[in-house]
Amino acid sequence: MTLNSCSYPVLLAGQEDENEIVTENAAFVHSDPPQVGDGPPTVDSEVEILHEKVTKQIIKEGHGQKPTKYSTCFLHYRAWTESTQHKFDDTWHELRPVEMIIGKEEKMAGLAIGVSNMKAGERALLQVGWELGYGKEGSFSFPNVPPMADIIYEVELIGFDETKEGKARGDMTAEERIGAADRRKMDGNALFKERNLRRPCNNMKWLKLKPLKNNFAFEAIAYLGDDFMFQLFGKYRDMALAVKNPCHLNMAACLIKLKRYEAIGQCSIVLGEDENNVKALFRRGKARAELGQTDAAREDFQRHVNLHLKTRQLRGRCV
C-alpha cells in the first residue's frame, strides 16, 4: 500500500500537513546506517595518528570545525574487539545516538580522542589500544570484551553543541534546560527556513542537506531526556512537551523524506503524550503505509480524519 492509494476524504488535510513538513522542519545532520555486514568496514584512506594508541581513517568526509573541549557531541558507532572481530556494540541498531562530552570521558578515552578530531557529518574508522579502551580488566557491561582488548570503532559524528549556555545541563534549573532546548529548536527552524524555503523541497535536495553542522532537533531533545522529564510535573512538564514534541515531529518529517521509517518511533513518542496529535497520526500513517503496514496505516489515517472533522465541527459552532 502507498499513500496515494489511500482514498480518505481528508487527504486535503494530509496535503496541507505535507506542506508544513517544509515550513516547520528543523534541519539536522542525517545519519545513514552503516553498510550491511558484521565485521569492520574495509577502508583505504590514509591512516592518521591522533595519539600513540589511537588512529583514524576517514570513511566519509565531514565539514566545518571540530568540537572543542567540553562540547557535547552526538554520535553513532559500532564497536569490535580487534583480536576476534566480534561486534559487541551498535548504536545504529538500537536507534539511539550516544551523547559524549569532550574532556569528561574517562572510560572511553580513545573514542573521545577520535571524536574530538572529527568534523560534523564525518564517518571514520578508529583503532584504539586497550589502554584507552576498556583497560586491563575488560568490560563488565560487555562480557565479550576480554581484558586488554584493542578496539575498532566505526563512528559517525552527527553533530555537536558548543557550551553556549555557560553551564552543564545537569547544573541547570528546569526553566534553563527547557529554554536551552527551545533555543535549539528555534535555531534549527530558522536555519532551515533561511536555506530552503526559497525553492520547492525534493528528495535530492534533502540528501544534499544532510551534512548541516548541528542536529538541532536531536540537541533539543537531549536537554529533555527521559530522566529529566520524569521529574517534571504541572506547568514545567507542559512547557517541556511544547518543545519536545515538535522536535520529534520535525525528525519524523525529515526521516520520511529520506525514506527512513524510524519516523514511526518518533511519532509514537509524541502520541504517547498526546494521543490526538494529528501531525503525529498523519506522519506515522504515511510511514506505515510506505512499509506496507496497511491496517495500522488505515487506523492512523482514520483517526486523523475523525479528529479533523471534529475540529471543523467545533469551529463551525463557534462562528
- 135, containing H or E segment: none
- Selection from 274, 284, 177, 158 nearest residue 227 by Cα: 177
- What pLDDT was estimated at residue 112? 93
| pLDDT tens per residue, range 137-156 | 888 788 889 999 999 999 99
* Rounded distance between C-alpha atoms, residue 300 and residue 197, angstroms: 29
- 2-16, 24-38, 127-141: least confident range: 2-16
- Selection from 153, 150, 128 nearest residue 53 by Cα: 128
Q: Cell 591512516: give the residue.
A: 47
pLDDT over threshold 60, residue 197: no
* Mean pLDDT across 248-260: 83
- What pLDDT was estimated at residue 115? 95
What's the burial of 170, exposed, middle or buried (CB within 10 Å: 0-12/13-18/19+)? exposed
DSSP readout, 28-61?
----PPPPS-SSPPP--SPPEEEETTEEEEEEE-
Pairwise pLDDT comparison (113 vs 2), residue with the higher score: 113
* Rounded distance between C-alpha atoms, residue 134 and residue 128, angstroms: 10
The one-character DSSP state at 66 is: P
Pairwise pLDDT comparison (234 vs 214), residue with the higher score: 234
* Mean pLDDT across 214-231: 78
* Rounded distance between C-alpha atoms, residue 157 and residue 148, angstroms: 26
Q: Could you tell me where the beta strands, DSSP code E, fall in 102-255?
A: 123-128, 151-161
Distances (CA, A) of 226 to 185, 221, 232, 237, 240: 18, 9, 10, 12, 11
- 2-6, 45-49, 245-249: least confident range: 2-6
Distances (CA, A) of 104 to 20, 85, 87, 101: 40, 28, 25, 6
Q: What is the mean pLDDT of the chain?
A: 78
Count Cβ atoms below 10 Å from residue 245 Cβ, excluding itself: 22
- 2-16, 147-161, 170-184: least confident range: 2-16
- 46-50, 87-91, 135-139: least confident range: 135-139
Q: Which domains does the chain have, with CATH numbers?
A: 3-30+172-318 (1.25.40.10), 48-161 (3.10.50.40)
Angle between helices 278-290 and 263-273 (to 10 degrees): 150
Residue type, position 21, single letter: I
* Rounded distance between C-alpha atoms, residue 65 and residue 117, angstroms: 10
pLDDT over threshold 90, residue 200: no
* Mean pLDDT across 107-117: 91
Cβ atoms of 108 and 53 closer than 8 Å: no
Report percent pLDDT > 90 for the chain. Answer: 40
The one-character DSSP state at 63 is: B
